[in-house]
């Protein structure tokens, strides 16, 4: 074998399972994110290199996941879910309290946040369940699925971490929806949810109510809970159509924007690149989600379909909730903007999701044949 | 398909009521799944569409609003305090100037534990107990959000040490500030005055001037002396700087700047060398001296002893020094020339003589016989003369030269007090004379009207008695004049009856254009007296220093000086013989001397008061001599003026 052949072979192994369209749009978003981060972090090289390190790790994991066939993933579903639930119970019993919430579990070497694991374990579990009873699915299965969703959601809500609980609940709901949950039940759930509103309100913690009230009227507490929201709106709004230009955002660089390289990175982007930039960003997200939906639509097994669909919709949900929150459309919840926000964990999770989608795409003919 | 009928929900074949798919057909299954996926896609489109609509709302519709908010976030308008004008004496010697220095300032509202912070700062820079006390005092008087000085005039090393540690101390700042310095300290302190931190009363004053905008950023304002009366000339116009600030309020860069324009410089008519000579002549004694150029009204010297160090007041005086000044029985904070009212004693005699000549009550040749006392009617109260046995035959000239009391007792008994009042008020007695240093007292020039209005319950307290006139006739009784009034009256006589407004500012200099605005001498009025009468009185005043009560103090002058001694009773002896040694120092008489020189062409007129100094001839005249010598001859005679408590000397007693 000649050198070029070796290189060719390695390249083939590396790229065989990689969906170039999906990877291309993710790379574009990450590039935009990196540029924004450079501005948001006041041109800190340390932040850049740290984000790039995470990116390298994320690429490796994406490649690994892309090379694992969906049935192998399916085998991991039950153990992951069980371990996840046990860890959540462990948190409830022995968790470490940080900032008034019991979210962390000390496992000797490090503190872990089991709710992060649940974000992938729950859709995996549900997809596995519906796959197992494919063709024989009836209302009992939806009931079982509802319980499978309710257990982790309840445990996380208790921590308390309402935002994550709702997001994990949403990921479970997406699987049910794609599995064909009746519109009547969906409608019924919506009505019941509305009717139970006052009850849920009474169940909320003070800070949660505060966030919702502040969302409805940020001027209620412009220096406290409303400060983030108000300053982010000012940043985006003052950006105008073409923006103030890269590195020129006054809200950003004069330190008025809190959390500007993590959850509120979109405010930096909106201020510096304006409506045109925001529209371009939405288009990039649409391209990535559109490609993911095509992959989902073409998946060969129910498990693959449900898993890919849930991952895709979660990707959308994160992007939507984050941008909605930053632009003042939704209450403030701690959700990073996929591929844009600074932070290794979030970046790695996103690329793991992309790896799953690539695996589904790459292994579709194999399963079919 | 286990229980098909139960779950069949219509619509698509095989679809169950609870939404489960029961199809074996993968094609249909895929079709249904893809339809759900289409809904999901529509959901995604809807979500992103909603976001886009929100962005349009924020970035297009409300852009202007948010642009304004962002700008008001980032742009702060900072006033730039102008440089305060320099105060100099008539020869350009600097009496007050501003310089820039670093101060350590604390904003109490931003500091949780003030004492602890100060303790920590004390490890870095020298913070004395008196700095702490002063800070506490300023703190009590301040509003919460001000930054207040803890230590001023930091050295470069201290600045460096603080700058390195600044991050440890939120609410602590090093600021470059303009300081006021008075190089002469106590000398002329009551004339120059001082500036101090702006308080609520000052703010009201500023609002009255409609200058509130101009004082944004100014921390200091004139409190006393010309610093107060010429505040609006000295202050200058505040500049404005628009700066971009970060969320911590720190200035990042300057966007625009309107430079401040410095306050005008003030040139005083005061001669600081003369002032120093005068203050030195007082030694440790308390008192006042006002010297005026009779032809212009220029105030040449303005002494109030003891004085104070104005430098202590600039940053807020510390409680220890404040207590020292405020509670001292010597009253160093009292502006004696303007706010000290003393009975004029015999210094009033030449003015009464002029009044009598003008009204025709006396001619200069009329004589009286002085037995050593004056008795009203047959066996009434006896008013003593100073000289036991009397002065014998006394005409008007002699009455002034030897200061014969009996002559004036008789004159007063024949003169209506209201006529006297009318004449003397022309000379500036018993009224404010529009001096350009604030705080003038009117003093008391008694009249029937004045006594009637005076507070008092009994009729006796309000009715004018002949006895009142007689006491007033030798400058005692109700008479109480300020040294400024006596100096002005002396100057007016010296200037042949033409009165000038006394003023201490000579010119105001615009520092930018160099343009000078002179304070023009303003003759206010000419007193109603015949020139020959004034000339007679002037001649008698020359006689005082040549052959009368001032002769000893003015022996051997190389110029001719006119003068008049005076002794003002503090304590009524009720007919006993005055014995200085037996009387508590603070109950001793006040010594007066008024003078002008040279007699033919007066260039300086003055009034000297030595509190509890005893006799005017002894205590006050030598001080006047030193000042006149210096001004007329340009040099001072060496040695202190006179000892304070020499016992009464028979030869010197004629007063």
The closest of B196, B210, B198 to B146, measured between CA atoms, is B198
Specify the higher pLDDT residue, A24 or B319.
A24
Specify the higher pLDDT residue, B20 or B411.
B411
Beta bridge partners of B224: B194
Q: Does the pTM exceed 0.90?
A: no
Q: Choose among A182, A255, A279: nearest Cβ to B246.
A: A255
Q: What is the pLDDT of residues A17-26, one digit of tens each?
A: 899 999 999 9
Q: Are B349 and B403 in contact (CB under 8 A)?
A: yes
Percent of chain B predicted with pLDDT > 70: 89
Q: What is the pLDDT of residue A99?
A: 65
Q: What is the pLDDT of residue B648?
A: 37
Mean pLDDT of all residues in B417-433: 92
Could you tell me the pLDDT band of residue B335, with boundaries at 50, 70 and 90?
very high
Least Cα separation, residue B67 to chain A (angstroms): 4
Q: Are B411 and B361 in contact (CB under 8 A)?
A: yes
Residue A65 has pLDDT above 80, yes or no: yes
Of the ranges A98-112, B279-293, B603-617, which one carries the lowest mean pLDDT score?
A98-112
The CA distance from B36 to B42, in Å, is 10
Residue A8 has pLDDT above 80, yes or no: yes
Q: What is the pLDDT of residues B360-374, one digit of tens each?
A: 889 989 998 888 888
Residue B6 has pLDDT above 50, yes or no: no
The closest of A244, A322, A347, A252 to A39, measured between CA atoms, is A252
* CA A267 to each of CA A28, A273, B525: distance values in angstroms, whole numbers, following the listed order: 19, 10, 77
Please give the structure tokens belonging to residue A216: 């409805």
Q: Complex ipTM, two decimals?
A: 0.92
Mean pLDDT of all residues in B375-394: 80
Mean pLDDT of all residues in A351-366: 88
Q: What is the pLDDT of residue A72?
A: 92
**DSSP-derived 3-state class of residue B480:** strand
DSSP H helices, chain A, are: 3-15, 20-40, 45-66, 70-94, 114-132, 139-157, 162-179, 183-195, 197-203, 206-216, 226-239, 250-253, 265-297, 302-326, 344-362, 364-368
B346: annotated active-site residue: yes
Residue B555: Cβ within 10 Å count: 10
Which residue of A lies nearest to B19 if distances are taken between CA atoms? A182
Residue spans of the domains in chain B: they are 4-50, 77-268, 273-510+533-644
Residue tagged active-site, from B147, B269, B346, B403: B346
The CA distance from B406 to B49, in Å, is 112
Contact B70 A236 (CB under 8 A): no
Q: Work out whether the CA dihedral A250, A251, A252, A256 comes out positive or negative.
A: positive
Q: What is the pLDDT of residue A367?
A: 45
The CA distance from B429 to B348, in Å, is 10
The alpha carbons of chain B give a radius of gyration, in whole angstroms, of 39
Q: What is the pLDDT of residue A100?
A: 66
The CA distance from A23 to A205, in Å, is 41
**DSSP-derived 3-state class of residue A155:** helix
- In A, which residues are within 8 Å of B1 by CB distance? 136
Q: What is the pLDDT of residue B643?
A: 43
Q: Are B99 and B181 in contact (CB under 8 A)?
A: yes
On average, the pLDDT of chain A sits at 87
Q: What is the pLDDT of residue B635?
A: 65
Of the ranges A136-145, B303-312, B636-645, which one carries the lowest mean pLDDT score?
B636-645
* CA B547 to each of CA A357, B541, B601: distance values in angstroms, whole numbers, following the listed order: 125, 10, 21
Query: Which fold would CATH assign to domain B77-268?
Result: Penicillin-binding protein 2a (Domain 2) (3.90.1310)
- In B, which residues are within 8 Å of A312 by CB distance? 40
Least Cα separation, residue A25 to chain B (angstroms): 17
Q: What is the pLDDT of residue B19?
A: 45
Q: What is the pLDDT of residues A312-341, one digit of tens each?
A: 999 999 999 999 999 988 888 888 899 999
Of the ranges A213-222, B52-61, B353-362, B562-571, which one carries the lowest mean pLDDT score?
A213-222
Mean pLDDT of all residues in B242-269: 82
The bridge status of strand B392-394 relative to strand B498-500 is unpaired
Q: What is the pLDDT of residue B356?
A: 92
Percent of chain A predicted with pLDDT > 90: 49
Is residue B598 reached through a cis peptide bond, with omega within 30 degrees of 0 on the bond before it? Answer: yes
Residue B12 has pLDDT above 70, yes or no: no
Query: Which element (helix H / strand E) includes B80?
Result: strand B75-80
Please give the structure tokens belonging to residue B355: 């009044």
Please give the structure tokens belonging to residue B141: 């008087």
Residue A211 has pLDDT above 80, yes or no: no
Q: What is the pLDDT of residues A273-293, one digit of tens each?
A: 999 999 999 999 999 999 999
Q: Where are the beta strands (DSSP E) in B182-320?
A: 194-197, 220-224, 239-245, 251-258, 265-268, 287-292, 299-305
Touching B: A residues 329-368, CB under 8 Å: 329
Write down the CATH number for the domain with range B273-510+533-644.
3.40.710.10
Q: What is the pLDDT of residue A276?
A: 96
Instruction: Tell me, yes or no, if A172 comes closer than 8 A to chain B by beta carbon.
Output: no
Largest CA distance in chain A: 72
Specify the higher pLDDT residue, B63 or A107.
B63
Residue B115 has pLDDT above 50, yes or no: yes
């Amino acid at each position: 074998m000649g050198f070029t052949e070796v290189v060719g072979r390695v390249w083939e192994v590396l790229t065989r399972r990689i969906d170039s369209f999906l990877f291309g749009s993710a790379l574009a978003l990450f590039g935009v994110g990196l540029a924004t981060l450079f501005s948001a972090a006041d041109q800190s090289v340390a932040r850049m290199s740290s984000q790039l390190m995470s990116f390298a790790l994320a690429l490796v994991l994406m490649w690994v996941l892309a090379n694992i066939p969906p049935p192998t993933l399916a085998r991991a579903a039950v153990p992951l879910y069980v371990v996840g639930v046990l860890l959540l119970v462990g948190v409830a019993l022995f968790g470490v309290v940080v900032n008034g919430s019991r979210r962390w579990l000390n496992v000797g070497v490090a503190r872990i946040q089991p709710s992060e694991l649940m974000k992938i374990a729950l859709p995996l579990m549900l997809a596995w369940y519906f796959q197992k009873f494919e063709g024989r699915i009836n209302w009992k299965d939806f009931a079982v699925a509802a319980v499978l969703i309710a257990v982790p959601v309840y445990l996380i809500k208790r921590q308390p971490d309402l935002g994550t609980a709702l997001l994990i609940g949403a990921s479970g709901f997406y699987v049910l929806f794609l599995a064909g949950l009746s519109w009547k039940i969906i409608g019924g759930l919506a009505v019941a949810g509305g009717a139970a509103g006052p009850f849920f309100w009474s169940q909320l913690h003070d800070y949660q109510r505060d966030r919702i009230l502040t969302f409805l009227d940020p001027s209620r507490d412009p220096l406290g809970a409303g400060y983030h929201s108000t300053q982010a709106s000012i940043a985006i709004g003052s950006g105008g159509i073409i923006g103030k230009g890269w590195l020129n955002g006054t809200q950003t660089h004069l330190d008025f924007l809190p959390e500007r390289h993590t959850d509120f990175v979109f405010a930096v982007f909106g201020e510096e690149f304006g409506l045109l930039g925001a529209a371009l960003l939405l288009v990039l997200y649409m391209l990535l989600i559109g490609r993911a939906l095509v992959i989902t639509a073409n998946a060969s097994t129910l498990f693959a379909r449900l898993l890919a669909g849930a991952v895709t919709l979660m990707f959308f949900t994160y992007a939507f909730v984050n941008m909605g929150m930053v632009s003042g459309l939704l209450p403030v919840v701690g959700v990073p903007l996929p591929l844009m926000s600074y932070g290794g964990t979030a970046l790695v999770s996103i690329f793991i999701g992309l790896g799953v989608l690539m695996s589904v795409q790459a292994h579709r003919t194999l399963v079919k044949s | 398909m286990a229980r098909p009928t139960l779950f069949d929900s219509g619509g698509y074949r095989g679809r169950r009521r609870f939404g489960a798919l029961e199809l074996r057909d993968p094609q249909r299954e895929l079709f249904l799944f893809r339809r759900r996926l289409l809904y999901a896609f529509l959901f995604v489109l809807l979500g992103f569409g909603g976001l886009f609509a929100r962005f349009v709302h924020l970035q297009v519709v409300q852009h202007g609003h948010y642009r304004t908010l962002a700008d008001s976030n980032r742009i702060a308008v900072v006033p730039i305090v102008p440089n305060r004008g320099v105060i100099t004496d008539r020869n350009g010697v600097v009496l007050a100037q501003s310089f820039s220095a670093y101060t350590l300032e604390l904003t109490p509202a931003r500091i949780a534990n003030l004492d602890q912070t100060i303790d920590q700062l004390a490890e870095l820079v020298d913070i004395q107990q008196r700095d702490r006390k002063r800070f506490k005092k300023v703190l009590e008087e301040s509003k919460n959000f001000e930054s207040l000085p803890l230590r001023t005039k930091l050295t470069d090393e201290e600045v460096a040490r603080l700058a390195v540690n600044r991050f440890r101390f939120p609410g602590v700042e090093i600021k470059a500030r303009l300081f006021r310095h008075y190089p002469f300290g106590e000398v002329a302190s009551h004339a120059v005055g001082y500036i101090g931190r702006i308080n609520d009363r000052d703010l009201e004053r500023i609002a009255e001037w409609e200058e509130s905008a101009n004082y944004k950023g100014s921390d200091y304002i004139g409190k006393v002396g010309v610093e107060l009366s010429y505040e609006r000339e000295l202050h200058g116009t505040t500049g404005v700087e628009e700066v971009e600030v970060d969320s911590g309020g720190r200035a990042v860069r300057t966007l625009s700047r309107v430079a401040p324009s410095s306050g005008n410089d003030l040139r005083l008519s005061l001669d600081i060398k003369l002032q120093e000579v005068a203050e030195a002549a007082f030694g440790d004694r308390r008192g006042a001296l006002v010297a005026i150029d009779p032809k212009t009204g220029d105030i040449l010297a303005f002494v109030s002893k003891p004085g104070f160090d104005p430098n202590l007041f600039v940053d807020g005086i510390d409680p220890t020094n404040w207590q020292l000044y405020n509670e001292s029985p010597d009253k160093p904070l009292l502006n004696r020339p303007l706010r000290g009212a003393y009975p004029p004693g015999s210094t009033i005699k030449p003015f009464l003589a002029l009044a009598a000549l003008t009204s025709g009550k006396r001619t200069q040749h009329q004589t009286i016989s002085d037995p050593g006392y004056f008795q009203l009617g047959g066996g009434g109260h006896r008013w003593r003369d100073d000289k036991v046995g009397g002065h014998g035959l006394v005409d008007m000239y002699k009455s002034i030269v030897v200061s014969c009391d009996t002559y004036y007792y008789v004159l007063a008994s024949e003169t209506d007090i209201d006529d006297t009042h009318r004449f003397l008020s022309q000379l500036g007695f018993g009224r404010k004379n529009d001096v350009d240093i604030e705080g003038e007292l009117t003093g008391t020039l008694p009249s029937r009207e004045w006594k009637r209005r005076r507070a008092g319950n009994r009729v006796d307290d309000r009715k004018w008695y002949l006895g009142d006139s007689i006491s007033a006739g030798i400058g005692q009784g109700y008479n109480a004049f300020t040294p400024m009034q006596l100096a002005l009256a002396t100057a007016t006589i010296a200037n042949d009856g033409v009165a000038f407004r006394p003023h201490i500012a000579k010119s105001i200099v615009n520092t930018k254009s160099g343009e000078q605005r002179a304070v023009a001498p303003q003759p206010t009025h000419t007193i109603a007296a015949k020139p020959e009468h004034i000339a007679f009185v002037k001649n008698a005043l020359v006689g005082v220093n040549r052959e009368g009560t001032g002769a000893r103090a003015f022996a051997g002058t190389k110029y001719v000086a006119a003068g008049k001694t005076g002794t003002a009773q503090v304590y009524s002896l009720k007919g006993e013989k005055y014995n200085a040694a037996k009387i508590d120092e603070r109950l001793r008489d006040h010594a007066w001397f008024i003078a002008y020189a040279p007699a033919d062409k007066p260039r300086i007129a003055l009034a000297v008061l030595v509190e509890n100094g005893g006799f005017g001839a002894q205590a006050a005249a030598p001080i006047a001599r030193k000042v006149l010598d210096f001004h007329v001859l340009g040099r001072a005679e060496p040695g202190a003026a006179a000892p304070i408590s020499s016992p009464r000397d028979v030869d010197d007693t004629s007063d």
